[in-house]
Amino acid sequence: MLGLVVRRLLQLPLIVLVIYTLTLALAWAIPGNPLENPEGRQPKPEVIAAMKRQYNLDSFPRFYASYLASATGFDYARDLLTGEIAREREKAEAAGEPPRQRYVFDFGPSLEYEDWTVNEIVRDSLPVSITLGSIAILIALGVGTFAGIVGAVKPNSLADLATLVVALVGISLPSFVIGTVLLLVFPVWLGLGEVGSSAGPQDMLLPAITLSLPFAAYIARLTRMGMIEALSTDYVRTARAKGVAERVVLLRHALKNAFLPVLSYLGPAAALAMTGSFIVERVFNVPGMGQHFVNGVQNKDLFLIIGVVLVFATMLVLFNLAVDVLYRWVDPRIA
C-alpha cells in the first residue's frame, strides 16, 4: 500500500508538468491580448509592450520557464537564499508596515482581476468548491445507494421503475434547469432560503442538491447492478439459507461487494463535483472555483487558467489515489 502511495506521488509532478505544458500551449494559442481590456480605456501601445515584457508575455519559452520557476517554488528558494526576502522584510519594518505576502508556490498575478494573485483566488474559492462538492457527493451517495438498493431488491417493480425515471431525469436534465426550478420553488414561491447569499452552510443546500443529481443517478444505477449481481451469488443464498436477517444480508453481505464499483467511481466524481460546477455556481451565485477556468479562458488570463488547471489536475490525481487506497482497504483481495 505504501509503495502505491509513494509511486503515485512520484508520478504526480510528471503528470502535472505534462498538463502544464499542454494547457499553456493551448492557452497561448487563444487569440487576443490579455493586457487589453476590450471595453475599458486602452493603455498606450508602448505601455502594453513594456507590460508584456514584464510578464514575459512576449515570448512563449520565457513565459514557460518563468511560470515554472515561480509555481514550483524555485523563485522563492532563490530569493530566500539571495536575501531578497529578508531585504523586503527590513524595508517593511522600517516603514512600520507589514511585509508583502510571498508564496512558496506562486501561481502569479491574475491579469483580469488586477488586485488579485491566483494564489489568493484559489485560497478564497477552493474551500467553497470543496464544501459544495463534498455535500453534493454525500447527498449523491445517500440518495443513489438507497435508490440502487430499492431497485435491486425488487427489480422491475414500481419502486425500481421510479428510481430509474428519477435517475434518467438526474442524468439528462441540465443543472441550470434543475437549479432554476429549485430556486423558483424554494426561495421564490415557498420563501425558504435566500438567493445570492453565501453566508452560511444553509446557502449550500440547494446548489449541492442540484450538483448531486447526476452523480446520484449514476451511483443508483451502479449500486442496482452490483446489488442484483451480488444478490444472485452463492454466499448470499447461503446466508439467507442460514436464516440471516434480510437487512443484514443486504447491507452487510451484498452491499459490501456491490459498493466496490461505486467506490472506484467516487474519485473522479468527487474531483468533478469540486471543480466542474461552473453552471451551478453561476445559477446559485456560489463563489467557487469552477467559474475561474471559464472566465480565465474568456479573458485569456494565462496565469489564472494555468493555476486553476494545475490545482484541478493535482486534485484529480490525489482523489484517485485516495480512492485506490480506500479500495484496497475495503477489499484487500485487490492488492
Partner 1 sequence: MVKLLAPVLLLALVVAATMVSDRPLPRADFAFVNRGDVSTLDLQKMSWMQDLRVARMVFEGLVENDVFTQGYDVVPAVAERWDISGDGLTYTFHLRDNAKWTNGSPVTAHDFVYSWRRAILPDTAADYTKLFQLIKGAPEFADWRQAQLDAFPDRRFESDEARREAAEALWAETEAKFAEMVRLRALDDRTLEVELKQPTPYFLDLLAFAVFYPVYPPLVRQYESIDPATGLLKVAFGWTKPPHLVSNGPFELTTWRFKRDMFFERNPYYWNPDKLDVDTVLIPSINDPNAAVLAYETGVVDWVSDVTPAYRADMLADKAAFYEENRELVDRLQAEGLDQFEIDRRLPDDPRKNIHAVPAFATYWYNFNCLPTLPDGTPNPFADARVRRAFAMAIDKHAIVEDVMRLGNPVARTLIPRDSIGGYASPDGLESLGDATTEAERADIVRRAKALLSEAGYPSPDDLPTITILFNKDAGHDLIAQVVQKNWQENLGVDVRLEQKEIKVFRDDLKEQNFMVSRAGWYGDYGDPTTFLDINRKDDGNNDRKYHGVRYEELLDEAAVELDSERRMALLGEAERIIMEEDLPMVPLFHYVTIYLFDPDRVSGLNPHPRTTQNMFLIDLLDDGKGRDEARAMRPASAAGSQ
Q: Three-state DSSP class for 287?
A: coil
**Closest CB to partner 1 among 124 and 172?**
124
**Closest CB to partner 1 among 23 and 129?**
129
Among 13, 174, 287, 334, binds partner 1 (CB under 8 A): 287
> Min. distance of Cβ 310 from partner 1 in angstroms?
18
Residues touching partner 1: how many (CB under 8 A)? 80
E-only strand ranges, the chain: none
| Site for partner 1 contains 306 (CB under 8 A) | no
**Closest CB to partner 1 among 163 and 299?**
299
**Closest CB to partner 1 among 141 and 272?**
141
Residue 26's CB is within 10 A of a number of other CB atoms, namely: 12
| Site for partner 1 contains 271 (CB under 8 A) | no
Question: Nearest 5°: phi and psi at 247?
Answer: -60, -45
**Closest CB to partner 1 among 153 and 164?**
153
Instruction: Answer for the pair 215, 269: CB distance below 8 angstroms, yes or no.
Output: yes
Residue 100 DSSP symbol: P
Among candidate residues 162, 116, 89, the one with its CA nearest the CA of residue 299 = 116
Angle at CA 198, nearest 5°, toward 316 and 123? Answer: 45
DSSP-assigned letters across all residues of 105-158: S---B-SSSTT-BHHHHHHHHHHHHHHHHHHHHHHHHHHHHHHHHHHHHSTTSH
| Site for partner 1 contains 243 (CB under 8 A) | no
**Binding range to partner 1, per CB under 8 A, among 147-155, 160-168, 235-243, 252-260:** 252-260
Residue 164 CB burial class (10 angstroms; 0-12, 13-18, ≥19): middle
Residue 174 DSSP symbol: -
Among candidate residues 32, 35, 40, 53, the one with its CA nearest the CA of residue 111 = 35
| Site for partner 1 contains 252 (CB under 8 A) | yes
**Closest CB to partner 1 among 262 and 310?**
262
**Closest CB to partner 1 among 18 and 330?**
330
| Site for partner 1 contains 26 (CB under 8 A) | no
> Min. distance of Cβ 116 from partner 1 in angstroms?
6
**Closest CB to partner 1 among 165 and 334?**
334
Residues 162-201 touching partner 1, rule: CB under 8 A, are 183, 187-188, 191, 193-201
| Site for partner 1 contains 41 (CB under 8 A) | yes
Instruction: Answer for the pair 150, 219: CB distance below 8 angstroms, yes or no.
Output: no
Residue 59 DSSP symbol: -
**Contact pattern from residue 198 through residue 227 relative to partner 1, giving x for each residue in contact according to CB under 8 A and a dash for the rest:** xxxx--------------------------
Residues 63-122 touching partner 1, rule: CB under 8 A, are 88, 91-92, 95-101, 109, 112-117, 120-121
Among 10, 14, 29, 44, binds partner 1 (CB under 8 A): 44
The amino acid sitting at 279 is I
| Site for partner 1 contains 144 (CB under 8 A) | no
